[in-house]
Amino acid sequence: MTSLHQQDADTLFQLLEYFGIDDDVPMSNWVDGHFQAGKGEPIDLYNPATGQLLVTYHDAGADMVNLAVESATRAQQTWMALTASERGRRMMAAVGGLQGHEEALARLESIVAGKPVRDCRAEVVKVREMFEYYAGWCDKQHGHVVPVPTSHLNYVVPVPYGVVGQITPWNAPLFTCGWQLAPAIAAGNGVVLKPSELTPFTSAVLASCLEQAGLPQGLINIVNGLGPETGAALTHHPDIAKLVFVGSPASGRLIAQAGASRLAPTVLELGGKSANIVFEDAHIDNAVAGAQAAIFGAAGQSCVAGSRLLVHESLMDEVCNRLARACPEIVTGLPGDDDTRMGPLQNSRQYQHVTTMIDHAVRAGARIVTGGGRPDTLPEGTEEGYFVAPTVLRDVTPDMDIACEEVFGPVLVVMPFADEEQAVQLANQTKFGLAGAVWTQDPARAHRVAHQLRAGTVWINSYKSISVMSPFGGMGESGYGRSSGLQGLQEYTVAQSVWVETAQEASVAMGYGKGL
C-alpha cells in the first residue's frame, strides 16, 4: 500500500505539473513571465504531516533577483502607460485567471503549508476578494488641489514608488501574497516578492495565473529562497524603492535596517501576543467559542492569534472547564481531509519552539488544562509529523515567557483579572500591539476598554474578523504601516506636489517667494 507520505508527494508533483512546474528540480520562481529554476543552494521541503522530505528546490539567488527587478521595472512602465480604468479592468481579468484552478491551488497550499484544505480554499477566496477590491481603486485614486496663497495652481497626486519588494512568511502564503500584491499593482507599482523558503510554490503559481490572464509580462515576479541570500539581495537592491515585510520581529529589524541603509521606506507587519478579555457579563458560550477560534485556527500559526485569554476571576474555573471539554473535540488531523479543523505545525523548527515553550511553562509552574502533547487521534504515517494538540495552560503569571513571547502555535494561556482596570493593564503588558478583543454585554464598557487597548485591531464580542476593506497593522513590536483598505493602498504611493504658474507675468522669486 502507498504510504501517506508517498501519496502526498505524488499529489504534490501532479499539482506542480498541472501548473506547469514539471521539472525534476522544480522551477520555483516566476520571473519575467516564466517559471525559472534557482541556481543557488538546495532547499529541502519536509511534509508537515509526516516529517519526511517532500521535494528539493534551489535558492533563487542574487542574479535571479536582478533579473526580476529589471523585469518589474520594464513592466511597471508598460503598466503606467495604460489608463487607470484599463489597469482596473486588467486586474479584474487577471483574478479571473484563478477560475477553475481554485481547488488545485488550495490543495497545493495545503500539502506544503500543512494547513487544513478548507482553510486554504478560504484563502483562495480571500485572494480573489483582494484583487476585486483593489481593482476598483485603480481609477479612484484622486489627487487634490491645495488653495495656496499665490497665483499658482498647486495639485497633489499619488504616484507609485516604481518597483516594490515584498517578503512574506509561511503561515498563510497565498493570502499574504495576494494581500500585498493587489494594492501594490493597483497603485501602479511593479513587484518582486519573496515568499518564505518553506512555502515557495503557491505564490509563484498565483503570479503565473494572474499574469497569463491579464497583467503585463514581468509586472509581478516571485523569487524563492533563503532570507539571508535571496531575501537580502532583494532588500539591498538599489532599485527597490519600498519594502513591505510580513514576518517575525527579529527579521523585521533586519529588513528595516536594510531599508534604512539606503533610505528605502518600509512597512512591517510582525507578530503578536494578543489579549482576549472576557468580562463577568460576557455571553459565555460565544466567548468560549471565540477564544478557541482565536487561538486554534491555523493551529495558532496566525499573527493575530488570541494567545492570552484574560478572564474575570469569577469565571476562571468555568471557562477552563469548558475549554477542557471542548478542545479535545477540535478535529485535529491530516491537512488534506475535509473534516480537519487543525493540522500540524508547518515545520520542525516551529514544532521544537512550540513544544519547548510548553515544557518551560510547565516547569515554571503553569498547569495544563488540556493538551500539552501530540493529539491521540492521528492516523498511521504521521508519527514524525509536527502535530501539537490544542493546549490550554493556567496558573500562568504575566512575567512567564509563555505569557510574553509569541508561541505561534496552538497554545492558549488563561489568566484571571479582578476588575476592568487590571484587565486593561494586563492586556497592554506586552511589547506587541497587533490585536485584542473584549467580550461583554455592556456596550459602554466594550467601547471604553477597546479604546484603552494598545492594538491595531480590536474586536468586540468577536475575533479574527478581517476584511480587505479595513486597515490592518500593528503597534510596538507588531510593526508599523498598514495593509488592507485605503490605508493599505496609500502605503504603495507617495504624494507628489505639482505647482503650475497661472499669472501672465510670472516672476520666479529668490528665496521663498511672496505669499508662501
Which positions touch ligand NAD (CB under 6 A)?
167-171, 194, 196-197, 227-228, 231-232, 235, 246-248, 251, 254-255, 269-272, 303, 406, 408, 434, 474
Q: How far is the CB of 235 from ligand NAD (least distance, A)?
A: 5
Which residue among 269, 406, 477, 491 is the active-site one?
269
Q: Which is nearer to ligand NAD, 9 or 342 (CB)?
A: 342
Closest CA to 68 of 163, 185, 159: 163
- Give the C-alpha separation, 78 to 72, whole Å: 10
Check if the beta carbon of residue 271 is closer than 8 Å to that of residue 478.
yes
Q: How far is the CB of 201 from ligand NAD (least distance, A)?
A: 14
Q: How far is the CB of 299 from ligand NAD (least distance, A)?
A: 13
DSSP secondary structure string for all residues of 162-212? SEEEEE--SSSHHHHHHHHHHHHHHTT-EEEEE--TTS-HHHHHHHHHHHH
Q: Which is nearer to ligand NAD, 94 or 246 (CB)?
A: 246
Q: How far is the CB of 280 from ligand NAD (least distance, A)?
A: 31
Residue type, 68: A
For residue 341, the SS3 value is coil
Which residue among 177, 303, 320, 327 is the active-site one?
303
Q: How far is the CB of 355 from ligand NAD (least distance, A)?
A: 16
Q: Which is nearer to ligand NAD, 244 or 334 (CB)?
A: 244
Q: How far is the CB of 115 from ligand NAD (least distance, A)?
A: 13
Closest CA to 431 of 248, 265, 297, 261: 248
Q: How far is the CB of 130 from ligand NAD (least distance, A)?
A: 14
Q: How far apart are the first and last CA of the chain?
A: 82
For residue 345, the SS3 value is coil
Q: Which is nearer to ligand NAD, 64 or 303 (CB)?
A: 303
∠ CA(85), CA(86), CA(87), 5° rounding? 90
Which string of b and e fits 84-99 if b means at least 16 CB within 10 Å? eeebbbbbbebbbbbe
Q: Which is nearer to ligand NAD, 111 or 298 (CB)?
A: 298
> Is 303 an annotated catalytic residue?
yes
Q: Which is nearer to ligand NAD, 235 or 391 (CB)?
A: 235
Check if the beta carbon of residue 387 is closer than 8 Å to that of residue 344.
yes
- What long-range pairs does 459-467 form, CB within 8 A, spacing at least 24? 459/435, 461/282, 461/283, 461/286, 461/290, 462/290, 462/437, 463/276, 463/290, 463/291, 463/293, 463/294, 463/306, 463/437, 464/293, 464/294, 464/297, 464/302, 464/304, 464/306, 466/304
**What are residue 439's DSSP bridge partners?**
278
Distances (CA, A) of 455 to 75, 245, 291, 514: 38, 19, 18, 45
Cell numbers 519600498 label which residue?
Answer: 242
Q: How far is the CB of 460 from ligand NAD (least distance, A)?
A: 21
Q: Which is nearer to ligand NAD, 177 or 315 (CB)?
A: 177
Residue 495: count other Cβ atoms within 10 Å of its Cβ: 11
Check if the beta carbon of residue 492 is closer than 8 Å to that of residue 187.
yes
- Give the C-alpha separation, 150 to 415, whole Å: 62
Q: How far is the CB of 339 from ligand NAD (least distance, A)?
A: 25
Q: Which is nearer to ligand NAD, 205 or 315 (CB)?
A: 205
Check if the beta carbon of residue 124 is closer than 8 Å to that of residue 174.
yes
Q: Which is nearer to ligand NAD, 92 or 226 (CB)?
A: 226
Positions annotated as catalytic residues are 269, 303
